Amino acid sequence: MSIFIDRDTRVVVFGATGNEGGFWTKHMLELGTRVVAGVTPGKEGANAAADAKIPAGRPGQQGLSGQQGFSGLPVYHSLRRALACYEADAAMLFVPPRFTKDAVFEALDSGLKKIVTIADGIPLHEALQIRAAARSCGARVIGGNTSGVISPGFAMMGMFPYWIERVYKPGRIGVMTRSGSLTNEVTAMVVAGGFGVSSLIGVGGDSVPGTRFAELLPDFQADSGTDAVVIIGELGGTMEEEVAQALAAGSFTKPVVAFIGGRHAPAGKRMGHAGAITSGGSGSALDKIAALRDAGALVAERPSLVGECLRQALGMNPQ
């Protein structure tokens, strides 16, 4: 079971005619994601696959109109025009940072409650506006600066090499991650430990993400298909400490295993992206590790130990 997307989730893709958006829309369809339409201003009626300059590939899930496969994906000038012909639940945004706020607001104004944006470099003040607007609408925005969301074997919104079976295997472990580079490595260790993934949520590496780790915990708590949660964290911000607070308060009761990157980073230095910076005496990897351990989570010293920690947390014998 997924906490965000499954094969019944109807998705509209902003930017499906671009090279990047087209490439990943094709793979979203091939995995089984129910992509019903694309949105690109000025390209209504375009062939999404041809405009993206990639082969059409295998047919995807059938849309509501009966058009099938990426080469038949209908494209509209605006979301309003797409929703006049198709019903949708979610929006996937492959749009540049400077257009992200407008695209998110268009999706929110249309009543969509699930939005994923991969854009890296959304202006800080606009990221704040996006988060505030989504919360006021009771909607959830994942990103920016994320690989997206995936339920392996079922559906995804984003950019995951789901065909790598040693990484993206269906199972009963939830994953929340801030890091793009560590996601494949740590998730591969989940699978190597004898597990699979129920839902993987990339909250993104920006300093103001649309959704924070702790805000996803109630969904994982309620999900009967998730037995434990793995957190892939890093220095900077307070998201991992917020998870520790939830554990200490008893509001999340399933086992938590974490790997925190950036233990040896110098204080006050930004490491890789806007979210990975320590400030004001907080946010260091060591602070996060201590907070999580004090709250009862198991923290792996290195990625290769994540599977072993999961087996320990779930009361299973070591491999």
Residues with Cβ within 8 Å of 243's Cβ and at least 6 positions away in sequence, in order, are 213, 214, 217, 231, 252, 256, 258, 292, 295, 297
Summarised one tens digit per residue, pLDDT across range 98-122 is 999 999 999 999 999 999 999 999 9
Cα–Cα dist 239/39, whole Å: 33
pLDDT given at position 318: 80
Cα–Cα dist 212/14, whole Å: 23
Considering the domain boundaries, does residue 75 fall inside one?
Answer: yes
Residues 32 and 110 in one domain: yes
Selecting among 27, 77, 264, 273, the annotated active-site residue is: 273
Of 90, 99, 78, 121, the closest CA to residue 28 belongs to 90
pLDDT given at position 148: 97
pLDDT given at position 319: 73
Helix axes 285-294, 239-249, angle to 10 degrees: 10
Residue 271: pLDDT band with limits 50, 70, 90 = low
CATH of the domain at 283: 3.40.50.261
Q: What count of residues does the chain have?
A: 319
Residue 273 annotated to the active site: yes
Segments forming the whole domain that contains residue 246 = 164-313
Residues 296 and 180 in one domain: yes
90 contacts 12 by C-beta, under 8 angstroms: yes
Summarised one tens digit per residue, pLDDT across range 18-73 is 999 999 999 999 999 999 999 999 999 876 666 666 554 433 333 333 333 466 89
CATH of the domain at 33: 3.40.50.720
pLDDT given at position 184: 94
Cα–Cα dist 53/61, whole Å: 21
273 contacts 206 by C-beta, under 8 angstroms: yes
Considering the domain boundaries, does residue 157 fall inside one?
Answer: no
Domain boundary among 90, 114, 143: 143
pTM for the complete prediction? 0.90
Residues 14 and 134 in one domain: yes
Question: What total number of domains does the chain contain?
Answer: 2
Considering the domain boundaries, does residue 32 fall inside one?
Answer: yes
Considering the domain boundaries, does residue 148 fall inside one?
Answer: no
pLDDT given at position 270: 56
Cα–Cα dist 275/257, whole Å: 21
Considering the domain boundaries, does residue 2 fall inside one?
Answer: no
Residues 131 and 174 in one domain: no
